[in-house]
């Protein structure tokens, strides 16, 4: 069904009929700047020149609070990213139910550090999970894989697994820095990958 449109009150322009605000802007090719994520370089940026603003009667303006995690924008991207990771992981485990949970941690800003709980049927499963997530080329650069008895939403539980179940020379995977692809929003500072399996070893199963 076609979306209903309506002319605005300010200029002849068809906007979304259900919009509470309509902001008409021109995209200028240059004139702005921004400081990159690492705070080391000033880069040019596009500028939006607003020419008109109109609104419905008694509109509600919805805004997102952003800042140190976790704030609203972190929560929104956290679960979207977790869903994307889950879709990728179900193809590398024997059974989809072997993925018990995925947590993008608060300390990792809801996207940089993924903790995955699994039911391990094979010694290769943690490794396959780590490589799969890092190969997605997302901003997630740290992957922790734990057994199903670990509460991935409890930092103390995760730390307990880290201190009691890892053998560093065997369980830690570190990938070299990979430059982001052209046009990628990922800053080079986050183009690295590391993963650790903190699952129980066969002798303890």
Mean pLDDT, the chain cut into blocks of 10 residues (205 residues total) = 47 63 74 61 76 83 78 87 93 91 92 92 90 83 92 95 86 75 54 73 48
Taking each helix axis from N to C end, the angle separating 125-135 and 72-89, rounded to the nearest 10 degrees, works out to 120
| Domain-located, residue 143 | yes
Domain with 134 in it: 72-204
Q: What is the CATH classification number for the domain harbouring 173?
A: 3.40.1670.10
Partners of residue 194 on adjacent β-strands? 142, 174
Q: How many CA atoms lie within 13 A of 157 on its CB side?
A: 16
Q: Are residues 101 and 39 in the same domain?
A: no
Helix, strand, coil % (nearest 5) of the chain? 25, 30, 45
User: What gap in Å lies between CA 146 and CA 98, rounded to an integer?
Assistant: 12
> What pLDDT does residue 12 have?
55
| Domain-located, residue 63 | no
Q: Are residues 48 and 76 in the same domain?
A: no
Q: Are residues 40 and 87 in the same domain?
A: no
Q: Are residues 10 and 96 in the same domain?
A: no
Alpha carbon dihedral 131, 176, 152, 82, in 10-degree steps, equals -60
Q: Are residues 44 and 94 in the same domain?
A: no
| Domain-located, residue 67 | no
In the chain, how many domains are there?
A: 2
> What pLDDT does residue 122 have?
87
Q: Are residues 171 and 87 in the same domain?
A: yes
User: What gap in Å lies between CA 48 and CA 24, rounded to an integer?
Assistant: 9
> What pLDDT does residue 117 have?
96
> What pLDDT does residue 139 have?
77
Q: Are residues 165 and 110 in the same domain?
A: yes
């Amino acid at each position: 069904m076609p979306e209903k449109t309506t002319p605005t009150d300010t200029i002849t322009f068809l906007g979304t009929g259900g919009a509470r605000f309509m902001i008409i802007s021109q995209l200028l090719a240059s004139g702005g700047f921004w400081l990159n994520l690492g705070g080391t370089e000033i880069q040019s940026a596009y500028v939006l020149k607003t020419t008109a603003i109109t609104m419905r009667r008694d509109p509600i303006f919805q805004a997102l609070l952003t800042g140190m995690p976790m704030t609203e924008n972190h929560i929104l991207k956290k679960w979207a990213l977790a869903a994307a990771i889950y879709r990728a992981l179900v193809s590398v485990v024997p059974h989809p139910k072997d993925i018990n949970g995925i947590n993008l941690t608060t300390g990792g800003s809801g996207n940089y550090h993924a903790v995955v709980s699994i039911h391990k049927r094979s010694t290769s499963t943690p490794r396959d999970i780590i490589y799969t997530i890092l190969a997605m080329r997302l901003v997630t650069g740290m992957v922790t894989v734990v057994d199903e008895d670990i509460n991935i939403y409890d930092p103390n539980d995760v730390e307990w697994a880290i201190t009691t179940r890892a053998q560093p020379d065997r369980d830690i995977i570190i990938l070299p820095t990979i430059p982001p692809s052209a046009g990628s929003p990922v800053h080079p500072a986050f183009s690295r990958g590391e993963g650790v399996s903190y699952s129980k070893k066969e002798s303890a199963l």
